[in-house]
Amino acid sequence: MELHIGCIPGDGIGPEIVKEAKKVLDKVAVRFGHTIQYTEILLGGASIDVHGVPLTMEAVDAAKKSDAVLMGSIGGDANTSPWYKLPPQKRPEAGLLAIRKELGLFANLRPAVLYEELAEACPLKEEISRAGFDMMIMRELTGGLYFGERRTTVENGVRTAVDTLTYNEKEIRRIAVKAFDIAMKRRKKVTSVDKANVLDSSRLWRDVVNEVAKDYPQVALSHMLVDNCAMQLVKDPAQFDVILTENMFGDILSDEASMVTGSIGMLASASLNDTSFGLYEPSHGSAPDIAGMDIANPIATVLSASMMLRYSFNLTSEADAVDKAVKQVLKSGYRTSDIMSADCKKAGCRQVTCSEMGTLLADRI
């Protein structure tokens, strides 16, 4: 098979982690008889440096021409980077929001899994983490507060800022359908998260999710208020299978869930539209403080590449091979610094660099 992959190295640690993911993908190609063509695409700060804007139409076209896009990370240090002297709509993050919208990537899948090998990194009490957890956060990605009208005005000397949170039933239905479809392939449980005790958009969300649920009688649906969900994620994460939620709640809850795993450097994500196209990126940020030091953890990006093989190319054995390589490398005791613990070190675990980790993974494909 010929795979046309758009590559967005992006900012911060992005270029180094994408390089390692490509190392692994190239090995997959050799081992399984595929060819890969990469097209490099500029986004975020990297695009600002060249074109003065975080996203160009040229970049959107290049992404659209690819079968799928693999991304590193976007953004810099807001206190020191010159990108943050630009107006908000010209900053790196605006490019990421815009490309999601341009490509219609309304469904963001963020798995949060407690890896057995890394259980000691989980910050929860052992009596809670013992049960393990494996949830999929389905975040609506192109609507709600992040895409509503916004303005800041000054009236009678008082500054006022307005952001609007809008959802229509079509936007809610399509993400709900995706969430139920995915739940059917998992433990058949959907927790829809909203703030229906306050927000109209949440009451509509709940109604539409209930309507969609009628087509999935095998899936157990429950509704949870977002503040309670934030609590439940640290109290009893094992109760969740698929969490379905709107854009901002999903942004916040997915960060919380990833922290609870203790290994944010391990978590992948996929942003999908209605076709097989997807944009795949690690759940973590650009970590500008360690950029270029070759100490970042490339595993989340490698696992994002695995999600790409699975969801965009339907290459299940290839994706399984990548996931297995990650498990084997962890089992063999190799750790990047973010997932190295004192106990692991004592037990003989070896600390490796970003590029060494990439090579170790590629060698196991």
Catalytic residues: 146, 195, 227, 251, 255
Instruction: Candidates 6-14, 89-97, 198-206, 272-280: pick the segment binding ligand IPM (CB under 6 A).
Output: 89-97
Q: How near is the Cβ of 281 to Mg ion at its closest, in Å?
A: 11
117 binds ligand IPM (CB under 6 A): no
67 or 251, CB closer to Mg ion?
251
- Residue of the chain from 93, 140, 171, 241 that contacts ligand IPM (CB under 6 A): 93
Residues pairing with 190 in the sheet = 221, 242
Based on the shown chain and the rule CB under 5 A, indicate whether residue 246 belongs to the binding site for Mg ion: no
Least distance (Å) between residue 261 CB and ligand IPM: 16
Cβ nearer to Mg ion, comparing 285 with 333? 285
Q: Give least dist CB 75 to ligand IPM, A.
A: 6
The single residue among 251, 281, 318, 338 that binds Mg ion, judged by CB under 5 A, is 251
Q: Any contact of residue 20 with ligand IPM (CB under 6 A)?
A: no
| Residue of closest CB approach to ligand IPM | 93
316-331 and 354-363 helices, crossing angle to 10°: 120
Between helices 14-32 and 299-311, what is the axis angle to 10°? 50
* Encoded amino acid at 66, one letter: S
Please identify, using beta-carbon distances, which residue of 296 and 362 lies nearer to ligand IPM.
296
Q: Closest distance between ligand IPM and the C-beta of residue 247, in Å? A: 7
Q: Which is nearer to ligand IPM, 272 or 365 (CB)?
A: 272
CA-to-CA separations, 234 to 86, 253, 287, 298, 344, in angstroms, rounded: 37, 11, 25, 26, 24
Residues in the chain: 365
User: How many Å apart are CA 200 and CA 218, to the nearest integer?
Assistant: 28
- For the residues of 165-224, what is the DSSP string, one character each? ----HHHHHHHHHHHHHHHHTTTSEEEEEE-TTT-HHHHHHHHHHHHHHTT-TTSEEEEE
Given Mg ion, ligand IPM, none, residue 16, with its beta carbon under 5 to 8 Å by kind, binds none
What residues form DSSP beta bridges with 37?
A: 4
Q: 269 or 336: whose CB is closer to Mg ion?
A: 269
Q: Does 96 bind ligand IPM (CB under 6 A)?
A: yes
Q: Which of 97, 268, 329, 360 binds ligand IPM (CB under 6 A)?
A: 97
93 binds, among ligand IPM, Mg ion, none (CB under 5 to 8 A by kind): ligand IPM
Which residue is it, tokens 């795949």?
A: 280
Q: Can you list the alpha helix ranges (DSSP code H) found in the chain?
A: 14-32, 45-51, 57-65, 92-102, 126-129, 169-184, 200-213, 226-235, 247-261, 299-311, 316-331, 342-346, 354-363
CB 300 within 8 A of CB 283: yes
Answer yes or no whether residue 287 interacts with ligand IPM by CB under 6 A: no
Q: Helix, strand or coil for residue 315?
A: coil
User: Which segment (17-25, 105-113, 196-204, 246-254) binds Mg ion by CB under 5 A?
Assistant: 246-254
Residue 107 binds ligand IPM, judged by CB under 6 A: no
Binding mask 246-285 for ligand IPM (x = CB under 6 A): -----x----------------------------------
Residue 325: exposed, middle, or buried by beta-carbon count in 10 A (0-12, 13-18, 19+)? buried
- For Mg ion, the binding residues (CB under 5 A) are 251
Q: Where does this chain bind ligand IPM (CB under 6 A)? A: 75, 93, 96-97, 251
